[in-house]
Structure 1
Amino acid sequence: MDTELLLMVVICLLISTDGLTLEPTELLGVEGRLSVEATDVEMASLDFGGLSRDKPLAVLHPASVNDVVELMSSAYGSARGFTVSARGHGHSINGQAQAANGVVIEMSRLKGSWLRIGELAHSSSSSSSKGGFYVDVWGGELWIDVLRGSLEYGLAPRSWTDYLYLSVGGTLSNAGISGQAFNHGPQISNVYELDVVTGKGELVTCSEDKNSELFHGVLGGLGQFGIITRARIALEPAPQRVRWIRVLYSNFSTFTRDQEYLISLHGEPASQKFDYVEGFVIVDEGLINNWRSSFFSPRNPVKISSIAANGGVLYCLEMTKNYDNTTATTVDQEVEALLKKLDFIPASVFMTDLPYIDFLDRVHKAELKLKSKGLWDVPHPWLNLFVPKSAIEEFDSGVFKGILGNKTSGPILIYPMNKDK
């Protein structure tokens, strides 16, 4: 019996046998587990967006990359065909990780998943000719685990997302944007090499120099060009601590002008720029007291109603300065020198100091708090947009001050970006 017919028979058998989990080594040629258990199927039919629900026929828990190859080969060779989707942490918004009547590959639960640190050799013929440290990771590995593993060597990836409980393959399939992107580019700009299982079931290694078309197609390709099973991520020496600052604005033009100024410093020496620049919009005056504020000392209380007495929208600019024992004595002066060049509301400075890992993992603290209140697993009709500088003022007046008004307390983030990154 050929592979195509064999797979279809197995799935039909499993569906007709309620609650049975198959160990399909002999049937599919894989080492992992193909499951139709209700808990597996239900989990794979949901995502963080909570807006759609599509049940797969089965869920594959791969034991190695070979299992992903076998499944994709079977799907490609099938006369009828069936959908396959790779699921990391299921943090997609519109059901992208679901596979209606197909098979979902549970990427985040690989037994014995690995993380290997290495150093690139200098080569005049390679796009990675500058050399440097890297980490090789399984595509389903969570970024929080990549961070912890890299820190054991005093290293860390250069570019992040705000939330670290996402899979490497998941964010690299989108872009991976956070406040470091103005300096280092998004996460997809910090990848040396990938292993990708294509739609034909071929395992292909690709980079800037090798199979470059696939490499650039997969990075930011929304999973449409293959499944990332290994990523080689650029590393840098990890700082020890972070000075985290927030300041408020009531004028949008001033807020964006200061953001643009700060990201224009990306080519300056480290002492003359911030390491992270982000921001968010406050259309509900209670938001400033609930969004990431538990890290900040109450010694700088700000009465929002006194700043936005007319019920207007406020804008918060967030910045950080990384440092370690060798630069601890100068961090205060460096921060003050940069703040003097900004035009924020003087009475609105919030400042705190914390370990590097605690800053990067800051959103997880808010997640735990929301989960305790039953507010994390609710629908998330989120929207991500790139808005050009020429249209941002109109976007502010039409959306922040118009459509939204005072009707939402959810996060509204603004990331300033350099197009050349």
Structure 2
Amino acid sequence: MIAFIERFVHENDVDSSDSASDYAGEVLSDLSDAGHDFGGLQFSKPLAVLRPSDASDVAKILRLAARSPHLTVAARGNGHSVNGQAMAHRGLVVDMKSLSLPIHVHADGIHADVAGGALWEDVLRHCVVNHRLAPRSWTDYLGLTVGGTLSNAGVSGQAFAHGPQTENVTELEVVTGNGDVLVCSKRQNSELFFGALGGLGQFGIITRARVLLQPAPDMVRWIRVVYTEFRDFTRDAESLVTRPDGDTFDYVEGFVFVNSDDPVNGWPSVPLDRYGSFDPGRFSNSAGPVLYCLEVALHYKNEDSPSTVDTKVERLMGGLRGKEGMRFEAELGYMEFLLRVKRVEEEAKAKGIWGAPHPWLNLFVSKNDIGEFDHVVFKNILKHGVGGPMLLYPLLRSKWDSRKSVALPEGEIFYLVALLRFCSPYQDGLSVHQMVVQNQEILQSCTKHGIDYKLYLPHYNSVEGWKRHFGNQWTRFQERKARFDPMAILAPGQKIFSRNWQHS
């Protein structure tokens, strides 16, 4: 690290008033990983990849960048962004996985302190195995870093009950663009706390988070129910997420699939095990080009009797409008359920498609317009599928603190729409370029039809796009930038602010 700092100071005329001898981190010679991400759509070569040992090292990196007229810094977790958000062209990429803060579960059994670069799957295993506790809110895929998801939102089937992951932290340690290491919460440095959560890495790098825990169940009853009518599907999904606590499932999601035997996009994607049987003969000829699947899960303990679990499941399922005979169930352990996408990852890697480009599109769509979205997008533009899951499930705005940085559509109920494209051979498959073009067609169609939506994991190439995205929150976003990262050193890959941006 010392040699790199000294060489950089010499070659870039950086003020060398601070000694380089106290930098404890490493510099990686291999820059290839930091030059691309999971999306596989962009490549940008950094000047260096740094592996800090602690928050003070991160602060030193940022203070070094501040003494240069042009250098930028991007925090990189597990490289799972899709549009170059964790890249820094000719800048410094900070490998957050090097922060070695051990996971510390508090004696109160309610909180755990974890490093910003820790993977959620490691947090899960440590808390469950050692303490029979678990964080309350998750993402579907857990090979993501804590700081990465907290910089966006972090949503999954538990978010209707507990809010996104950003609502399940009580304290952060953040290194601001000014090079300050600050502990923040709702009561201490609150503007930074609210800004950093969902702030896309624009105000600081999250080096530690205190997350809320709850007792971990032992087992999960996992259920899928198929629908032919969109209105029935949305009514049932919205009913489940708005029921009182204790009177609904612990997890509620859903997805759209193609009404065909396509192995990737169609009927075979619904059964919960490879031996499950999907009988399309139960549908009338009037069923549309796409069908819908409501996915729910109930947690329980080993000591709960099977009859007790069965009784509760049937009570909660009572009155749902799913297609008779189109219900699929599986019983599995809690960690196995939460790590279910890990199995998908392993299979995709074995087939050579995990490393392929992933032009994903993630949206929040208002309940008021979700029917129009179904008609315009699912039943028309995407009637042949996307070569991967098309997630669709409701969330509750009241579970999100409006002081945080995430932009949401109007209304109490809005839907997550996640088009998780894989670039792999499938029926009527598109090239990567065609997938990107189709994503733009979807967004243009939403605008044309007046559909109220916000991009989740947003990406725009112009300031005007970001202004539209944040709407009346834009001024607050700018003010936070001016306060915590006035030289716009952080997160250049988001393309929101340029280096040495001046707030007016």
Please classify the TM superposition score into its range, dividing by the shorter chain length: 0.7 to 0.9
State whether residues 188 and 219 of structure 1, in contact with CA within 8 Å, keep that contact through their aligned partners in structure 2.
yes
Cα distance in 2, alignment partners of residues 308 and 52 from structure 1: 45
Cα distance in 1, alignment partners of residues 31 and 21 from structure 2: 19
What is residue 33 of structure 2 aligned with on the other side?
43
Partner AA of 1:296 in structure 2 = D
The 5 A counterparts of 1:93-242 are 93-110=82-99, 112-119=100-107, 133-151=110-128, 152-242=130-220
Cα distance in 1, alignment partners of residues 347 and 61 from structure 2: 39
Partner AA of 2:279 in structure 1 = K
What is residue 239 of structure 2 aligned with on the other side?
261
Cα deviation digits, residues 391-418 of structure 1 (max 9, x gap): 0000000000111121522211112101
Change beyond 3 A, Cα 1:312–1:232: same
Cα distance in 2, alignment partners of residues 409 and 30 from structure 1: 46
Secondary structure of 1:41's match?
coil
The 5 A counterparts of 1:241-256 are 241-256=219-234
Cα distance in 2, alignment partners of residues 5 and 343 from structure 1: 64
Partner AA of 2:194 in structure 1 = H
Cα distance in 2, alignment partners of residues 11 and 68 from structure 1: 21
The TM-score, its normalising length taken from structure 2, stands at 0.73
State whether residues 11 and 57 of structure 1, in contact with CA within 8 Å, keep that contact through their aligned partners in structure 2.
no
Question: Per-residue deviation at 1:63?
Answer: 1.6
State whether residues 87 and 98 of structure 1, in contact with CA within 8 Å, keep that contact through their aligned partners in structure 2.
yes
Q: Note the residue ranges of structure 2 that are not aligned, 5 or more in a row.
A: 400-504
Cα distance in 2, alignment partners of residues 402 and 167 from structure 1: 36
Cα distance in 2, alignment partners of residues 101 and 316 from structure 1: 45
State whether residues 224 and 270 of structure 2, in contact with CA within 8 Å, keep that contact through their aligned partners in structure 1.
no
Cα distance in 2, alignment partners of residues 177 and 61 from structure 1: 28
What is residue 58 of structure 1 aligned with on the other side?
48
1:319 aligns with one of 259, 277, 296: 296
Cα deviation digits, residues 76-119 of structure 1 (max 9, x gap): 232x1301000000111110001100010011133x44100104
Cα distance in 1, alignment partners of residues 160 and 86 from structure 2: 28
Count of residue correspondences: 387
Q: Note the residue ranges of structure 1 that are not aligned, 5 or more in a row.
A: 14-24, 121-131
The TM-score, its normalising length taken from structure 1, stands at 0.87
Cα distance in 1, alignment partners of residues 203 and 4 from structure 2: 22
Cα distance in 2, alignment partners of residues 336 and 142 from structure 1: 36
RMSD (Å) for aligned C-alpha atoms? 2.3
Secondary structure of 2:105's match?
strand
Question: Per-residue deviation at 1:5?
Answer: 8.4
Q: Percent identity?
A: 49
Question: Per-residue deviation at 1:212?
Answer: 0.7
Change beyond 3 A, Cα 1:209–1:290: farther
Cα deviation digits, residues 56-80 of structure 1 (max 9, x gap): 01000112222101001111232x1
What is residue 31 of structure 1 aligned with on the other side?
24
Secondary structure of 2:41's match?
coil
What is residue 302 of structure 1 aligned with on the other side?
278
What is residue 128 of structure 1 aligned with on the other side?
none
Cα distance in 2, alignment partners of residues 303 and 155 from structure 1: 40
- Which is further off, 153-162 or 318-327? 318-327
What is residue 390 of structure 1 aligned with on the other side?
368
Secondary structure of 2:157's match?
coil
Secondary structure of 2:396's match?
coil
Partner AA of 2:392 in structure 1 = I
State whether residues 267 and 278 of structure 2, in contact with CA within 8 Å, keep that contact through their aligned partners in structure 1.
no
Question: Per-residue deviation at 1:297?
Answer: 6.6
Cα deviation digits, residues 352-373 of structure 1 (max 9, x gap): 0000000000001011101111
Cα distance in 2, alignment partners of residues 297 and 328 from structure 1: 27
Question: Per-residue deviation at 1:247?
Answer: 0.6
Cα deviation digits, residues 246-273 of structure 1 (max 9, x gap): 01011111100100000011x332xx21
Cα deviation digits, residues 180-209 of structure 1 (max 9, x gap): 000000000000100000001100000011
Question: Per-residue deviation at 1:4?
Answer: 12
